[in-house]
Amino acid sequence: MQAANPVLKTPYPRGSGDSIEDARKALIMKNKVPVRVVRDLDNAIRKVAEMFDTEAVVVVGSQAVLMRWGNKAPDAMRTSGEIDMYPANKKLWEEAERRKAGADALYVEASEYIHQVAGEGSAFDEIHGFYVDGVDETTSPLPLGWQERAMYREVQLESGRTVTAVSPAIEDTLAAKMIRLRQKDVEFVQASYTFQPFDIADMKKRMESIQPHASYTQEYLDACRVQAFAFMDTLEKRAARNPIADLEKQLARILPEYPKDTHCAFYNLADNSVTIRKWEPDMGIFYKIDNPLGPAMVAKGFQHFVLDGKKVDKEVFDARLDAGPAPDAPAPPPWRMG
């Protein structure tokens, strides 16, 4: 059941014949801004982080483009009244809610709680001109292993602590969009291809890796891929651009050794650096910066040693290395298991 919104303090016009509800809706529409900007993304991330007391928030759907291109992304890609996301601690939060409610009682799911507090028509929507759509890890039909290519953004909360936003790479978001390929998805993909052409052959491989899950059956996915491949074949052939792949080649010589089964390297275009992160099974993402085999943050001119999210000096790191593997090493991601 959706929570009631607080009464607005803004005065409504008197004698106009409009009801309070009509005036409230008119005010909501007046505040709506169709094109999302990075400020909107950060406000949504802060809201969800505070609601769930989480260290990380996962952003999916069209507005994940803000994580890669920010306000430079074409307006056609940023035209949306919502931003889709979920807290990375969703499973743990829901388990706690289930325990509080009791074995046979109903409990509030994370997506429903987001809808109540920051969804369409909420006070958050009225104030900011957009709403947060609470989703989960099954909502977007993303390519297998999208977490290895994810984008990261640090956002500071009013409390002073920092929350990490994680989203699929733009190419993986495009692959998910082309599974549905509604008119708005066609326009989104066309705008993206014009702004920064992607490799069509690579995109088809990404789409082929999308696995059946939830309502996405194998038959449905196969039919969607046929339609999407035909659509991509109509795109003008242009040279693909992938700045992150270029950066990966540039930093290959300084990439440190790290556990390939449980960790992953991520490349940051902002400072031409590479960061090693550890797989977090409960979150379903690579999250904490960590490298038990060498520096976890590297660029030309600097390197930092980080263990389980905490920076350490070289002496502490060497002592940990001499002590052998940590006993609580995480299990590899499912797709990396043989």
Q: Is residue 163 part of a domain?
A: no
> In this structure, which amino acid lies at residue 141?
P
Per-chain mean pLDDT for the chain: 90
Q: What is the pTM of this model?
A: 0.88
DSSP 128-147: HSSEEEE--TTSS-PPTTGG
Backbone torsions φ then ψ of 55, nearest 5 degrees: -85, -20
Q: Is residue 7 part of a domain?
A: no
Per residue in 260-304, pLDDT tens? 999 999 999 989 999 999 999 999 999 999 999 999 999 988 999
Domains contained in the chain, number: 2
Q: Is residue 178 part of a domain?
A: no
Query: Residue 135 CB: number of other CB atoms within 10 A?
Result: 20
Per residue in 225-241, pLDDT tens? 999 999 999 999 999 98
Indicate the pairing of strand 310-312 with strand 302-307.
Answer: antiparallel
- From 117, 138, 159, the end of a domain falls on 138
Q: Is residue 6 part of a domain?
A: no
- From 138, 173, 206, the end of a domain falls on 138
Q: Is residue 73 part of a domain?
A: yes
Q: Is residue 153 part of a domain?
A: no
Report CA-CA distances (Å) from 135 to 47, 132, 335.
15, 9, 22
* Least-confidence region, from 21-30, 113-122, 134-143, 274-283: 21-30
**pLDDT level of residue 4 (50, 70, 90 thresholds):** very low
Q: Is residue 188 part of a domain?
A: no
- From 116, 138, 160, the end of a domain falls on 138
**pLDDT level of residue 12 (50, 70, 90 thresholds):** very low
Of 179, 268, 165, 261, which is closest to residue 223 (Cα–Cα)?
179
Indicate the pairing of strand 297-299 with strand 302-307.
Answer: antiparallel
Full domain range(s) for residue 115? 20-138
Question: Which stretches does DSSP call E strand in 61-139?
Answer: 82-87, 131-134
**pLDDT level of residue 3 (50, 70, 90 thresholds):** very low
pLDDT at 21: 52
Q: Is residue 128 part of a domain?
A: yes
Backbone torsions φ then ψ of 220, nearest 5 degrees: -65, -45
306 - beta bridge partners? Answer: 311
Assess whether pLDDT exceeds 80 at residue 169. yes
Dihedral of the alpha carbons of 115, 118, 120, 124, in degrees to the nearest 10: 160
Assess whether pLDDT exceeds 70 at residue 38. yes
Q: In angstroms, rounded to a whole number, what is the distance separating the alpha carbons of residues 179 and 216?
A: 10
> In this structure, which amino acid lies at residue 5?
N
Average pLDDT over residues 47-54: 97
